[in-house]
Amino acid sequence: MSLEIKAVDAYYRSVKILDGIDFSASHGELLGIIGPNGSGKTTLLRTISRILKPKVGTILLEDRDVREMKDKEFSRNFAAVPQDTTINFDFSALDIVLMGRNPHLGRLELESEKDIEIARRCMELTNCGHLAERPITELSGGERQRVIIARALTQEPKVLLLDEPTSHLDINYQIEVMELLERLTSEEKLIVIAVIHDLNLAAQYCDRLVLLHEGKIVSLGTQAQVLTAENIKNTFGADVIVKKHALTNRCYVSPVPSPLKHRDKNEIGGITIHLICGGGEGASLMHILSERGYNVTAGVVNMLDTDCEVAKLLNIPVVTEAPFSPITREAFQAHLALMDKAKVVVLCNIPFGFGNLKNLEVAKAALERNKTLLVFDAASIEERDFTNGEATKQFIALKNKGALLVKNEEEVLKAVKQKPLQGLRGQRGRAPLFEKRR
């Protein structure tokens, strides 16, 4: 069994909304439709469900044109759950679900025991059986959503269409609905096509995604193929970081707000702050400092590192190194050169292995060149040292030579605002801004 949408164009009067839409979906597949507002997602569902007739192209279910099906036959194959599930009549939940049996009943025919049994089974499947006698108007949004899905399932369709089934629901109901859709594909072998607003929910539960923009498919494939930072930037206009979750191995999308430049850089003197970071430990500070108008640089970070991605999004100069490779001489020299342009250097709370020990040498050089060196000590260096104690030894030497310990981004901001900066250098005989913890 398969559903094929072939080169479909759809219009509202003279305005083209869908342009050359072409994809297929198989039984047992949960296909997510994503895209910005106005991209044609709801129009696509309306076209599949025959509410809107395509001007060009065909829609086939098992090689049969759906336009050739009579209404009842179509309703036995397709069921839809609209975005707005509000019902103002005081019917019981069971009565609402039983309405899904209409395509299977003759004219003036009443529901049989078999129909009631099917309705109750669908209510149990959607975990709303206990709501059977409750008036639909008294149910919460999540409860009503499950009842409406049960009504659609009572049609015994082959294709289930849903328009933003998780909108306006709390996170627990969102997860419950998405897990239900996942079960319907794996156990009932339905074709499920859902418009989903939340990209992370789509990535977590959908087998494949269709990304729409201005009525066209710009990407179609697995969540890893579709949910790229470039695709999201080009369609939604948003800067994001896309990573794979360590537990689920699924993509997750994190927004990166555009930096808001300080109105008067003269207030902070155009200070350049260099971050020695990696492993995502510098990402938050990059944004905070950029937002306040500081010039920020960073290094040396892995090219696949979150810190590298954030630096690129914020247009922060950064020295990079190949993934899983030790810092080369060339990268080290470039790092020194970038650090040398800064007044303040921040050593972030990063782990150390033999591959990135040279970053500690850059921190040492910062002190030798009379820079202000701020060192994060949120986690004990011993917990982050994978060099048989060499990193710990160098870290202690930095503190003894005048590096200032900071616990968080707030303390970094306090430090760089001090006037004059020379008072922060921790020279012998002068009190440091923050007490040194030995």
pLDDT at 421 over 60: no
User: Does residue 300 contact residue 335 with C-beta atoms inside 8 Å?
Assistant: yes
Q: 143-147, 208-212, 260-264: which has the minimum mean pLDDT? A: 260-264
pLDDT of residue 109: 82
Give the span between the Cα atoms of 404 and 285, in whole angstroms. 17
106-147, pLDDT tens digit by residue? Answer: 888 888 999 999 999 999 988 899 999 999 999 988 889 899
The HSE-up count of residue 86 (CA atoms within 13 Å, CB side) is: 4
Looking at this protein, which amino acid is placed at residue 91? F
pLDDT at 264 over 60: no
The pTM for the full model equals: 0.69
pLDDT at 420 over 80: no
Whether domain 2-255 has CATH 3.40.50.300: the reply is yes
Written as one string, the DSSP assignment of 189-202 is --EEEEE-S-HHHH
303-358, pLDDT tens digit by residue? Answer: 878 888 888 888 899 999 887 789 999 999 999 999 999 999 999 999 898 889 99
Indicate if 265-424 has the same CATH topology as 2-255.
yes
CATH among 3.40.50.450, 3.30.70.360, 3.30.200.20, 3.30.530.20 for 265-424 = 3.40.50.450
Whole-number average pLDDT of the chain: 87
Nearest to 359 by CA among 421, 310, 305: 305
Predicted confidence band at 276 (pLDDT cuts at 50, 70, 90)? very high
Predicted confidence band at 424 (pLDDT cuts at 50, 70, 90)? very low
Parse the chain into domains and list their residue ranges: 2-255, 265-424
pLDDT at 258 over 70: no
Q: Report residue 384: phi and psi, to 5°.
A: -110, 5
pLDDT of residue 217: 97
| Higher local confidence (pLDDT), 381 or 155 | 155
386-418, pLDDT tens digit by residue? Answer: 898 999 999 999 989 989 999 888 899 888 877
Written as one string, the DSSP assignment of 419-437 is SSGGGGS--TTS--SS---
76-112, pLDDT tens digit by residue? Answer: 999 999 988 888 888 999 999 999 999 998 888 888 9
